[in-house]
Amino acid sequence: MERTCLAIILAAGESTRMKSAMSKVLHPVAGRPMISHVVEALASASISDVALVVGRDAEAVSAAASTGSVTVTSFLQKERLGTGHAVLAAREAIARGYDDVLVVFGDTPLITAAPLKEARDGLAAGNDVVVIGFQTPDPTGYGRLIVEDGTLVAIREHKDATEEERRITYCNGGLMAIDGRRALDLLDRIGNANAKGEYYLTDLVEIVRSLGGRAIAVEAPEEELTGCNTRAELAYIERLWQQRRRHEMMLAGVSMIAPETVFLSWDTELAQDVLVEPHVVFGPGVRVESGAIIHAFSHVEGAHVGAGATVGPFARLRPGADLGPKSKVGNFCEVKKAEIGAGAKVNHLTYIGDAFVGAGSNIGAGTITCNYDGVNKHLTRIGANAFVGSNSSLVAPVTIGDGALVASGSVITDDVPADAVAFGRARQEIKPGRAPVLRERYEAEKTAKKKVKAAD
- Amino acid found at 179: D
**Angle in degrees, CA 7, 13, 19, rounded to 5:** 140
Report d(CA 306, CA 202) in Å as an integer.
Answer: 52
Report d(CA 205, CA 186) in Å as an integer.
Answer: 10
The predicted pLDDT at position 233 comes to 96
**Secondary structure (DSSP) of 253-307:** T-EESSGGG-B--TT-EE-TT-EE-SS-EE-SS-EE-TT-EE-TT-EE-S-EE-T
Report d(CA 48, CA 102) in Å as an integer.
Answer: 12
Tens-place pLDDT, residues 289-314 = 999 999 999 999 999 999 999 999 99
The predicted pLDDT at position 15 comes to 83
Tens-place pLDDT, residues 329-361 = 999 999 999 999 999 999 999 999 999 999 999
Angle in degrees, 0-180, between the axes of helices 58-65 and 34-44, rounded to the nearest 10: 40
DSSP assignment letter at 128: S
Whether 365 and 392 have beta carbons less than 8 Å apart is answered as no
The predicted pLDDT at position 69 comes to 83
Tens-place pLDDT, residues 197-238 = 889 999 999 999 999 999 999 999 999 999 999 999 999 999
Average pLDDT, integer, range 62-80: 91
Q: What is the CA radius of gyration of the chain?
A: 31
Q: Is the pLDDT of residue 47 over 60?
A: yes
Within 8 A by CB and 6+ apart from 227, the residues are 105, 107, 108, 174, 233
The predicted pLDDT at position 255 comes to 98
| DSSP E strands, 136-190 | 144-148, 151-156, 170-179
Average pLDDT, integer, range 407-429: 92
The predicted pLDDT at position 362 comes to 98
Residue 1: pLDDT band (50, 70, 90) is low
Q: Which of 295, 299, 304, 348 is catalytic?
A: 348
pTM to 2 decimal places: 0.90
Give which of 106, 160, 112 is closest to 132, Cα–Cα.
112
Torsion of CA 326, 327, 330, 332, to 10 degrees: -140
Has 85 been annotated as catalytic?
no
Report d(CA 175, CA 115) in Å as an integer.
Answer: 10
Report d(CA 311, CA 296) in Å as an integer.
Answer: 9
What domains appear along the chain, each with residue ranges and CATH number?
Answer: 5-225 (3.90.550.10), 231-422 (2.160.10.10)
Report d(CA 308, CA 324) in Å as an integer.
Answer: 9
Within 8 A by CB and 6+ apart from 169, the residues are 135, 136, 137, 139
Torsion of CA 117, 121, 124, 130, to 10 degrees: -90
Q: How much is the mean pLDDT over the chain? A: 95
- Amino acid found at 66: S
Whether 378 and 396 have beta carbons less than 8 Å apart is answered as yes
Residue 135: pLDDT band (50, 70, 90) is very high
The predicted pLDDT at position 330 comes to 97
Give which of 42, 175, 177, 179 is closest to 97, Cα–Cα.
179
SS3 category, 86: helix
Query: Is residue 265 left, alpha or beta, with left meaning phi > 0 and alpha meaning psi from -120 to 50?
Result: beta
Whether 84 and 187 have beta carbons less than 8 Å apart is answered as yes
Report d(CA 108, CA 77) in Å as an integer.
Answer: 19
Tens-place pLDDT, residues 384-414 = 999 999 999 999 999 999 999 999 999 999 9
